[in-house]
Structure 1
Amino acid sequence: MQKSQIYRLLRLGCVLCIGLLISCSQPSAEAATNTYYVSPTGKDSQKGTITSPWKTLQHAADTVPAGSTVYLREGVYKQQLAITRSGSASKGNITFTPYSSEKAVLDGTGQAVDGLQGMIDIQNASYITIKGLEIRNYTTTHADEVPTGISIQGAGSHIQITGNKIHDIKSTVSLSGNHATGRDAHGIAVYGNKAPESLHDITIDHNELYNLVLGSSESLVVNGNVEKFTISHNRLHDNDNIGIDVIGYEGIAPNVKYDVARQGVIKGNTIYNISSNRNPFYGKKIPNNSNSAGAIYVDGGKDTVIEQNKVYNNDIGIEIASEHAGKSTDNITVRSNIIFSNRLTGIAMGGYDTERGSTINSHIMNNTLYKNDTLNRGNGQLYVQYDTRNNVIKNNIMVAGASNVLIYNEYTKNSGNIIDYNLYDAPDGSAEATWIWKNKEYAGFPDYRKRSGNDAHSLFANPKLIDPAKQNFHVQQSSPAIHQGIADPSIVGTLDIDGQLRKSHSPITIGADQ
């Protein structure tokens, strides 16, 4: 090779190296397109940059690729958003979130409702994040329209709904006869209405849902073919029907085999002032005294853990039941929850009448139930209803309210249930405390324990809670609850109400506080 050729190759190599250095020191074109902006004052004909933002959320959803973040600049967006395009595992989620500390509001005033429709509607999409938005004022006066703050439907996965504020979503359908039929709304709704493809790996975390007018529906619902979901650290309050609901067998999925929400975790939520008493769906008279709304309700769901929640001033604290004859709520674990001052009862299980389904193979462990049954109707702290089978109820603190009733079970269809290692207390002492078991009433703890066959290792004593009046349900160092429980497999290695690891061997402390 001649020297002139060698020099030309060397010069070419230097140019290439310099070019590579320059290109590596600057962001790539692909990286530069991963961030987009929307503003109420923007234009969809612009580039979607911070200086030339788009105007509509829908244009952004129809345009951006996987791995993109769409920042909403401050303002009120009287827009709906339908998301049908997905992010991906390799490139990341498509995220909609406010820019920096700015406040972005989706306002539904005047927006149309078509069936079950969300202000944000995610349909058959995956790898989506909705974060930090306020969604409000989505309402209807028409039957069979279901306004929803955020709706997730179809099949899909890896969807995160986090840090949003959802309020004033309402159905105000006029009364027809004694009830308002077709009167429904949701704050957040997850409907798995395909099969066998499911909605899975859904996270709903740190949202606030309040001032919702729901009719026969729920504040936050997971229904049909939904699996592996987490509902955590949300705050729900002042809504006129159920708080969190996990549902099966309502015909949402086209195949009954898949028509059940399952493998979920409901953890660390705070839920209060949930009541149906001002809900016209339950009767014209306001208040109607229906007391039907649970803070957390599992209706036909299965394989779900409910833990570390704080629920109070609701109609019902936690209910695990099935409204559908021949169908069961199966393998639900209710553990380390604090449940107090709820009107009807603390925990309810089983069908509410003989036309309903059953609760089976479930565990109610290490909860603190304090002075529920505030209506003084005698439903007690634990309300055992129709058809309960092979359930375990252990290590719970139960302090009765004015009725002195601790457990109420009027149905005799009740088999294989194990109740033991609990700590009971009542205002008028052991002799006046009452248990109803298989429709037999027992007055006094010794009589109940001897004749019912329950609670052989349980105690009746003041649990010495630190300060219930100030919602401090930790136990004092001198509490008889300490080291008196049993390390059932459903509680070993789990966390107490404060996130402290429970001992892996007996004895453990009774109640929600380790």
Structure 2
Amino acid sequence: MSAYTSLIQANEATGAETIVEIPLLSASISTPAESSASPASPASNAGTSSPAAARADAKPYYYVAPGGSDTTGTGSKSSPWKTVQRAADAAMKTGGTVYLRGGVYSQQLKLAGTPGAAGSAARLTVASYPSETAVLDGKGLSVQDTGSLVELHNASRVTVRGLELRNYKTAASGSVPIGIYVHGSGAGVRLLDNKVHDIGNTSSPKGSDLAGRDAHGIAVYGTEAPASISDLTISGNEVCNLTLGSSEALVLNGNVEKFTVANNHVHDNDNIGIDVIGFEGTSPNAKYDQARDGAIAGNLVTGSTSVRNPSYGRKVPNGSYSAGGIYIDGGRDLIVERNRSESNDIGIEIASEHGGRSTSGIVVRSNLVVRNALTGIAMGGYDEERGSTTGSTITGNTVAYNDTLEWGTGQLYIQFDTRDNVIRNNIFAASGSNVLIDNEYTENTRNTIDHNLYFAPDKNAAVWIWKGKTYTGFAAYRKGSGNDADSLFADPQFVDANSDYRLKSGSPASASGTPDKILSAAPDLDGKPRGKSATGKPSRGAYE
């Protein structure tokens, strides 16, 4: 029995609802606290005409079942309603929990609140009944403009938990199908333990390859100002098998702040996995048009690739390898930590697509970034028309065997206009291309790169490209670039270079980094404290 199931069954017996908190991955991230509610016991209201009749001071339970009735049902456990919308409309007035019994619902749900009314909203949970799975199936449902299976508009204190959302697709250019769509403003939304899959736009628009072909699994758009979407938690979800066109599987865009995206499994999608965006005009006020002050932690992201995506592939003979597993595009003041990004096009990218605008204040720490096609970690604008990456820190990551295409983009890909960034205490292990850093642009100012460990299959052929100059061999690179005076070139001695990137005893990466307050403020990828060796030095890479 899962902790969630046992808690809910206990709650039903006692009439006390427990909010299930998501365990986060470091002390540096916190989830907004909630007070416990006290809903009525389902047993006590099972035969009543209305669940709210059980206790005047209780937040009730409401029930929905595929065989229920909106006309003769009462919403009780023994007499459920048929549609989730019927139950949710009732629960929006009182707060409480809507339980969907197991089965398939060819239905959509829309919850709308009042902008700026976050403090007064009652807590509402919509969830699968314990040990059962409720499926919202979009097959046959039309997609009008931006459509979704679950929509939260200006909603606050709403939890959506344990649902499966699937088969919501369109071939209509310009229509955007979404599994869960949160937009407007609001506070305290939680999207927990849902599975979102087989959502997509399969249109083939004429003209521009990118026009009108978009979809999302989970999308959060902060479209108000100054009121934001805040205190948001997206955790424990599986988001997969999506046909995204030019869009993203899990995206936060615009006026979104104070959020946690943690412990999700995002895999096998035809474009970007997790994306945090700014500067797209999503908020009506440019001052608030950046997703910010949040954490992306403990996620597993695999198989994000645009190589077979028609939105890109028609432009490039061999397809486009441009999908980031985790992409910060114009976001600011974010922590990206303890994620595993593997077998995507790009492992982690912190960049800005908008000229004159900067992605800034990003901390990328204790991540495992391995075997991605184009590169491991990328930063800066992808051409001279783009924006910049500034004031960010990349520390304590294991970045290994990326550039599987062996195109020479290496493990760290420093692109246009990077300024005042720090790159330290990382392990960079090259693929067969032997390229470790690829930096073709001279617009690279006041970046500090040191205390890293480098390794390549052929040490004599190891390559660093710095401000457009190619250096072969570690000594030549250090002398020519002025970087990495206290770095090492050595085999990191992984436990298993194919599957286990922890360090063997005696690894030169162990307890050999430079003391690092940013890195030591959170545990390593295994949850072990950092920088607690006898010397006070952390290990280089993602593992102590």
TM-score, scaled to structure 1 = 0.92
How far apart in 2 are the matches of 1:189 and 1:76?
23
Counterpart among 473, 476, 481 of residue 509 in structure 2: 481
CA contact (8 A) 2:378 2:414 kept: yes
CA RMSD of aligned residues (A): 1.7
Q: What are the Cα deviations for residues 38-81 of structure 1, in whole angstroms up to 9, with x where unaligned?
A: 11111113210011111111111211134300000111110000
Query: Is residue 2:336 matched to residue 1:306?
Result: yes
1:455 maps to: 484
Q: 1:178, CA displacement in angstroms?
A: 5.8
Query: Is residue 2:524 matched to residue 1:496?
Result: yes
Ranges in structure 2 where 5+ consecutive residues have no aligned partner:
1-43, 46-53
CA 1:150–1:460: 2 relative to 1, 3 Å: same
2:194 maps to: 164
How far apart in 1 are the matches of 2:318 and 2:239?
23
1:119 maps to: 149
Q: 1:85, CA displacement in angstroms?
A: 4.4
Paired letter, 2:110: A
How far apart in 2 are the matches of 1:305 and 1:170?
29
Q: What are the Cα deviations for residues 310-357 of structure 1, in whole angstroms up to 9, with x where unaligned?
A: 111110000000000000000001110001110000000000000000
**SS at the partner of 1:496?**
coil
Ranges in structure 1 where 5+ consecutive residues have no aligned partner:
1-25
Q: How does 1:48-447 map to 2 (within 5 A)?
A: 48-64=75-91, 65-85=93-113, 93-177=123-207, 179-284=209-314, 288-429=318-459, 431-447=460-476
How far apart in 2 are the matches of 1:90 and 1:261?
24
CA 1:287–1:451: 2 relative to 1, 3 Å: closer
Q: 1:176, CA displacement in angstroms?
A: 1.3
**SS at the partner of 2:272?**
coil
Q: What are the Cα deviations for residues 424-455 of structure 1, in whole angstroms up to 9, with x where unaligned?
A: 000012x2111000001111001111121100
CA contact (8 A) 2:108 2:136 kept: yes
Q: 1:30, CA displacement in angstroms?
A: 2.9
Q: What are the Cα deviations for residues 394-444 of structure 1, in whole angstroms up to 9, with x where unaligned?
A: 000010000100000000000000000000000012x21110000011110
CA contact (8 A) 1:493 1:503 kept: no
Q: 1:468, CA displacement in angstroms?
A: 2.4
**SS at the partner of 2:520?**
coil
Q: 1:245, CA displacement in angstroms?
A: 0.3
2:55 maps to: 29
Q: What are the Cα deviations for residues 445-489 of structure 1, in whole angstroms up to 9, with x where unaligned?
A: 0111112110000000000000121x2110011100012111223
Counterpart among 69, 72, 86 of residue 43 in structure 1: 69
Paired letter, 1:104: A
How far apart in 2 are the matches of 1:187 and 1:286?
26
TM-score, scaled to structure 2 = 0.87
**SS at the partner of 1:266?**
strand
CA contact (8 A) 1:38 1:55 kept: yes
CA contact (8 A) 1:57 1:81 kept: yes
2:26 maps to: none
**SS at the partner of 1:490?**
helix
CA contact (8 A) 1:496 1:513 kept: yes
How far apart in 1 are the matches of 2:59 and 2:508?
62
Q: What are the Cα deviations for residues 120-151 of structure 1, in whole angstroms up to 9, with x where unaligned?
A: 00000100000000000001111121100000
How far apart in 1 are the matches of 2:221 and 2:74?
35
1:23 maps to: none
How far apart in 1 are the matches of 2:423 and 2:122?
43
CA contact (8 A) 1:320 1:329 kept: yes
Paired letter, 1:29: R
How far apart in 1 are the matches of 2:57 and 2:325?
44
Q: 1:115, CA displacement in angstroms?
A: 2.3
CA contact (8 A) 2:306 2:313 kept: no
CA 1:287–1:82: 2 relative to 1, 3 Å: farther
How far apart in 2 are the matches of 1:184 and 1:304?
26
Paired letter, 1:140: T
CA 1:448–1:254: 2 relative to 1, 3 Å: same
**SS at the partner of 1:480?**
coil
Q: What are the Cα deviations for residues 93-113 of structure 1, in whole angstroms up to 9, with x where unaligned?
A: 200111121121000112122
Most deviating of 109-118 and 479-488: 109-118
CA 1:398–1:41: 2 relative to 1, 3 Å: same
**SS at the partner of 1:491?**
helix
CA 1:93–1:204: 2 relative to 1, 3 Å: same
Most deviating of 481-490 and 273-282: 481-490
How far apart in 1 are the matches of 2:121 and 2:403?
52
How far apart in 2 are the matches of 1:481 and 1:41?
60
Pair member with larger Rg: 1
Paired letter, 1:95: T
Q: 1:269, CA displacement in angstroms?
A: 0.5
Identity, in percent, stands at 54
Most deviating of 101-110 and 57-66: 57-66
**SS at the partner of 2:461?**
coil
Paired letter, 2:434: N
CA contact (8 A) 2:173 2:205 kept: no
Paired letter, 2:100: L
CA 1:33–1:448: 2 relative to 1, 3 Å: closer
How far apart in 1 are the matches of 2:365 and 2:59?
46
CA contact (8 A) 2:440 2:469 kept: yes
CA contact (8 A) 1:178 1:283 kept: no
